[in-house]
Amino acid sequence: MKGTPAKITHALIISALLTVAADEVIVFEAEHAVDLKGVFEFVQDKECAGGAALEVREGMGTAYDEAQSRQVANTFPQVTFGNTTGEARYRFKVKKSGDYTCWVRALWSWHCSNSIWVHSHSRERIKVTDEVYDRWHWVKAPGRIRISAGEYSFRIDNREDGVRFDQFCLALDPSYLPRGRMEANARFTAPDSAVLLMHGQMETPLVLSNAETKGKLWLRNISSKPLSIQLSVESDPSINVRFSEDEPSLKLPPNSKPRPIDFGVKAKNHEPLQKAQILFHASWGAGQKKQIPFTLHHGPDWSVTAPISGDYSASQKSLDRTGKIPLPSGLEKMKWRKLNKPDGFGPTGRIDFARLYPNRAACHAYARCQFEWPRDEEVSIRLRSDDQGTLWLNGDFIGAHTAIGPADRYSTATKMRIRKGINHLLMRVDQKSAFWEAGIEIVD
């Protein structure tokens, strides 16, 4: 289940210099970034100006609410919280000083996916939101932003996931109304040291044992000169990474639009719960180069069964009464479904029960797997689930995540002792309503 956030957990940093042609209306594309970090991603969308936008996929970046987290912490003291901040920054030249209205061309999913933060000089951040869903439209920020002539710094933060952003508009005339897809009037130029943007995205950050996981490497020339790029990739021995074409080369015009290059990842040696590293390389000109790392995880071969009717809060009641939860019985009589394709998982790699079993409430599911480990070892883990989650290893109770809320925001830390050889993992995931997902993370 997803709450209403008030502070960000993940975000993006964009830094660019815009030279504005118009005096009173400044329009620029959201995807024309020189740096992308955190949960913002490029997406192709034919309804957008330029055919592309920025998005935060549902399940990738639920905001952090300090007040709500304090309340949850009092009820569930073992629960921990995420609070990773980030930002989007644009710098541009303004010809006329004045008070500007900020507009955002946005696509909202629902009432918990309908906002973004906007910052201005010496002011608190401004929440941009409305209640128009499932269509592109212009959203007006409250109040006015004071901008002086010259170079100005404009910043946005992601506030919720399940959102897309196409364009931004700053208008000096308070009665000005942007309409539809507008023509950008800002020419991007980057600092001298910035030439090429590289940004990797995957459908889910998992390596599966028998299926390819697909991704895109986005490139954008942020310089004022054309670039001829040669791409290559290296990875650790457990995986094989291939581009859609061998050692691709491409020509990027000055200040180009973001361009995607497809790639796929397959397991060569499946190592469940272990990390897999990728390093993308780009070279151009006389010895100029850039590289970006990418980290995936080998997903275990999960099987799931659901929905099982019953009290979604049974885990909490058992935990309060006994301090641990016994292994459930009758599992072998249930009908199990193997998750052997990426579409069974969400964008963060957690099992997406809501996609597998849509429109369910007041029930629970089980997920189980077996995996081989090279040695006897105690590892630290985080259990993330929406809603409550319970974990057993080799028949022993490991821990329970008892908070009701977004898995991106809340997690429970515990330890489990893995034995050398074959291990059996079982997870119960309760569902109150709305979102329904779970996964575990080994902590370094």
Q: What is the CATH number of the domain that holds 286?
A: 2.60.40.10
Q: Give the model's pLDDT for residue 189.
A: 58
In the listed set 163, 189, 215, which residue is the last one of a domain according to the structure? 189
Quote the CA–CA distance of 390 and 399 in Å, as a whole number.
Answer: 6
Q: Which two tokens stand for residue 60?
A: 């990738």
CATH code, domain carrying 118: 2.60.120.260
Exposed, middle or buried by CB within 10 Å (0-12, 13-18, 19+), for 309? Answer: exposed
Show Cβ contacts of residue 303 under 8 Å, excluding neighbours closer than 6 positions. Answer: 336, 337, 338, 339, 367, 368, 369
Domain that holds residue 27: 17-189
Task: Please report which confidence band the pLDDT of residue 213 belongs to, taking 50, 70 and 90 as the band edges.
Answer: very high
pLDDT in tens, 271-285: 999 999 999 999 998
> 348 and 205 in contact (C-beta within 8 Å)?
yes
| 6 found inside a domain | no
Q: How far is CA 31 from the centre of its chain?
A: 16
Amino acid (one-letter) located at 190: A
Residues 6+ apart with CB under 8 A from 374: 420
Q: Quick check: is 341 in a domain?
A: yes
Q: How many CB atoms lie within 10 A of CB 334?
A: 14
The larger pLDDT score, comparing residue 409 to residue 143, is at: 143
Q: Are residues 357 and 426 in the same domain?
A: yes
- The H or E element spanning position 400 is strand 396-401
Inform me whether the pLDDT recorded for 182 exceeds 70: yes
- What pTM did the predictor assign? 0.87
Q: What is the mean pLDDT of residues 323-328?
A: 79
| Predicted confidence band of residue 316 (pLDDT cuts 50, 70, 90) | low
Domain shared by 400 and 287, yes or no: no
Position with higher pLDDT, 30 vs 88: 30
Regarding predicted confidence, which is higher, 394 or 158?
394
39 and 69 both lie in a single domain: yes
Q: Determine the pLDDT at residue 12.
A: 42
- Of 172, 189, 206, which closes a domain? 189
How does DSSP classify residue 345?
B
E strand or H helix at 240: strand 239-243
* CATH code of the domain covering residue 359: 2.60.120
Least confident stretch, 25-34, 86-95, 398-407: 86-95
- Cα separation, 403 vs 203, in Å, equals 27
Whether the per-residue pLDDT at 61 is higher than 80: the answer is no
State the Cα–Cα distance between residues 20 and 186, nearest whole angstrom.
5
Residue at 181 is within a domain: yes
Q: How far apart are CA 170 and CA 152, in angstroms?
A: 12
Greater pLDDT, 242 or 9: 242
Domain count, the chain: 3
Say how many C-beta atoms besides its own lie within 10 A of residue 32's C-beta.
25
What is the rounded distance in angstroms from the CA atom of residue 435 to the CA atom of residue 148?
A: 45
Q: Which residue has the higher pLDDT, 159 or 66?
A: 159
Same domain, 23 and 150: yes
**Is position 5 within any domain?**
no
| pLDDT reported for residue 5 | 45
Answer yes or no: do 328 and 273 share one domain: no
Q: Could you report the per-residue pLDDT of 183-199, keeping only the tens digit for each?
A: 988 766 565 667 898 99
Distance CA 113, CA 61 (A): 10
- The reply to whether 25 and 132 lie within a common domain is yes
Task: Note whether 354 and 411 are within 8 A (CB).
Answer: no
Q: Which two tokens stand for residue 257?
A: 């639009």
In a domain, 9, yes or no: no
Same domain, 311 and 407: yes
Q: Work out the mean pLDDT of the chain and round it to a whole number.
A: 86
Give the amino acid at 422: I
| Same domain assignment for residues 54 and 74 | yes
Residues 51 and 133 in one domain: yes
Is the pLDDT at 17 greater than 50? The verdict is no
**Mean pLDDT calculated for residue range 340-347:** 94
Boundary-marking domain end, from 251, 277, 298: 298
Alpha helix locations (H) across 3-111?
A: 66-75
